[in-house]
């Protein structure tokens, strides 16, 4: 089976090289891996000690960050090597300050795995949430290197739990320990005979709790919120984060027709110039882009479109209500934990069943799921006009975050004692 897997990878690589000629993202995926081994040779020598973290993409990086930070303190003489599989993770966080080396993970061929581990020679390895690469796992096991899965989540429909999943189940044997998010994941692993598992919860909660401790102030947001026509000189702010066109079609309709005394900040998932301009032109109220804000009195505007990345979390701290996008697409809604940590009620689209935190917050009524224009309009109107309901739902969200923190401590305590 491993032979067939390696053969398939060979053909996949050839196809990717061809597609890279036409697709910019795949080009990044292919070209970004060409210099990985040279980078490792330059930045890690044979005497260095290292710890390797692997994140599939940006979300997994954010998820693993609390553990990386604590490990860095606990092992100050080790170099941190961070790998990404996806360009959407690597390109955004390639210059992060937490890791000593940040690179793409070479494709999971036998030769790549051997060369990578020879150069990195890690003492500890952490895979974040998922991604189980058989050749890397086999080589790690052969080398007796401790490997942990953190914030892991397993579902019955995964290959591990199917009749044909023996190859994948065998790969799981390389892990020294599984730290999983929930009881169902633990039970699934126990059924396969894995007893080296503990429910730690999701490290993303620790990540967003830490956000509260930093400076989240943004002067331009404070200026934007000002409105001399209101009693207190400030308006309620609705922050729309990680929106997609399907979200925006409903949201723009609401923005254009509402008479509520509110302002809107939209931070789209895709900030390509063409899409940003199309969104801007669809809004009939006074609208300005983040990139146009210099020497402008933002208090005169009703809508601010954020055509940059990296500041959405801070923007959430100013919101009265948050709408988190992605819920009309596949696999579904984006990260709702960042607005939730600030005690903000959240509105999302209908596709959220793959995200445990969204399911929980919808059930607890801190988060409202909508499926059409009327439901969106009603949800906004209810939260804007009724302060008690808005504050109650926000309190549910912040309490949910606080009740679920602590996964990083569980993981670090286990590692310290073993």
175-198 pLDDT, tens per residue? 999 999 999 999 999 999 999 999
- Using CA atoms, how far apart are residues 287 and 324, in angstroms rounded to an integer? 20
As a residue count, the chain comes to 418
**Mean pLDDT rounded to a whole number for the chain:** 94
pLDDT of residue 233: 53
In sequence order, what E strands does 85-235 have? 101-104, 122-128, 146-152, 177-180, 197-199
Q: Are 363 and 171 in contact (CB under 8 A)?
A: no
Q: Are 274 and 307 in contact (CB under 8 A)?
A: no
Residue among 152, 149, 154 at smallest CA distance from 137: 149
- Using CA atoms, how far apart are residues 418 and 409, in angstroms rounded to an integer? 14
Nearest-10 Cα torsion for 149, 151, 156, 162: -20
- Using CA atoms, how far apart are residues 408 and 202, in angstroms rounded to an integer? 8
Enumerate residues 6+ apart whose C-beta is below 8 A from 343.
Answer: 394, 395, 397, 398
Nearest-10 Cα torsion for 36, 41, 43, 46: 140
What is the H or E stretch that residue 50 is in? strand 49-55
- Using CA atoms, how far apart are residues 89 and 8, in angstroms rounded to an integer? 25
pLDDT digits (tens, 9 = 90+) for 101-149: 999 999 999 999 999 999 999 999 999 998 899 999 999 999 999 999 9
Which of 73-77, 80-84, 231-235, 376-380 has the lowest average pLDDT? 231-235
Q: Are 140 and 117 in contact (CB under 8 A)?
A: yes
State mean pLDDT over 337-349: 97
In sequence order, what E strands does 290-342 have? 303-305, 321-324
pLDDT of residue 37: 97
pLDDT digits (tens, 9 = 90+) for 48-79: 999 999 999 988 999 999 999 999 999 999 99
State mean pLDDT over 193-213: 95
Q: Are 332 and 355 in contact (CB under 8 A)?
A: yes
Instruction: Reduce the DSSP state of residue 129 to 3 states and report it.
Output: coil
- Tokens representing 311 are 């500041």
CA–CA distances in Å: residue 134 to residues 29, 173, 404: 20, 10, 32
**Backbone dihedral region for residue 343 (phi beyond 0: left; psi -120 to 50: alpha; all else: beta):** left
How far, in whole angstroms, is CA 332 from its chain's centroid?
12
Number of other CB atoms surrounding residue 184 within 10 Å = 15
pLDDT of residue 228: 46
State mean pLDDT over 197-216: 94
Say yes or no to pLDDT of 230 above 80: no
Comparing 331 with 284, the larger pLDDT belongs to: 284
- Using CA atoms, how far apart are residues 383 and 116, in angstroms rounded to an integer? 52
pLDDT of residue 348: 98
pLDDT of residue 232: 46
Residue among 77, 79, 53, 75 at smallest CA distance from 65: 53
- Using CA atoms, how far apart are residues 295 and 314, in angstroms rounded to an integer? 22
Q: Are 203 and 64 in contact (CB under 8 A)?
A: yes
């Amino acid at each position: 089976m491993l032979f067939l897997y390696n053969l398939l990878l060979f053909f996949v690589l050839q196809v990717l090289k061809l597609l890279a000629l036409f697709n910019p993202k795949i080009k990044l995926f292919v070209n970004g891996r060409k210099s990985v081994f040279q980078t490792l040779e330059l930045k890690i020598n044979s005497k260095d000690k290292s710890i390797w973290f692997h994140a599939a993409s940006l979300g997994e990086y954010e998820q693993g960050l609390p553990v990386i930070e604590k490990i860095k303190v606990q092992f100050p003489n080790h170099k941190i090597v961070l790998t990404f599989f996806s360009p959407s993770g690597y390109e955004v966080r390639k210059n992060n300050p937490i890791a000593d080396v940040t690179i793409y993970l070479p494709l999971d061929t036998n030769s790549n795995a051997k060369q990578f581990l020879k150069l990195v020679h890690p003492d500890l390895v952490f895979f974040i949430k998922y991604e189980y690469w058989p050749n890397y796992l086999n080589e790690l096991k052969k080398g007796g290197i401790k490997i942990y899965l953190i914030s892991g989540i397993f579902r019955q429909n995964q290959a591990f739990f199917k009749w044909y999943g023996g190859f994948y189940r065998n790969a799981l044997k390389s892990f020294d320990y599984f730290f999983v998010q929930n009881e169902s994941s633990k039970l699934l692993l126990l059924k396969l005979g894995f007893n080296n598992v503990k429910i730690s919860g999701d490290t993303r909660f620790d990540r967003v709790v830490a956000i509260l401790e930093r400076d989240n102030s943004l002067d331009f947001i404070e200026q934007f919120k000002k409105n001399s026509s209101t009693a207190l000189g400030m308006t309620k702010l609705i922050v729309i984060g990680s929106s997609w066109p399907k979200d925006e079609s409903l949201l723009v309709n609401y923005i254009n027709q509402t008479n509520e005394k509110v302002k809107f900040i939209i931070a789209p998932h895709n900030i390509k110039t063409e899409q940003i301009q199309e969104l801007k032109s669809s809004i009939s109220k006074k609208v300005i882009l983040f990139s146009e804000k210099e020497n402008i009195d933002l208090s005169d505007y009703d809508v601010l479109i954020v055509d940059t990345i990296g500041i959405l979390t801070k923007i959430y701290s100013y919101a009265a209500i948050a709408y988190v996008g992605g819920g009309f697409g596949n696999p579904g809604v984006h990260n709702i934990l960042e607005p939730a940590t600030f005690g903000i009620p959240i509105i999302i689209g209908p596709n959220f069943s793959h995200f445990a935190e969204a399911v929980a917050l919808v059930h607890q009524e801190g988060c409202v799921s909508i499926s059409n224009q009327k439901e969106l309009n009603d949800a906004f109107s209810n939260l804007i006009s009724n302060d008690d309901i808005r504050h109650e739902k926000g309190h549910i969200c912040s309490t949910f975050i606080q009740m679920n923190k602590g996964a990083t401590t569980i993981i670090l305590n286990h590692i310290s004692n073993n």
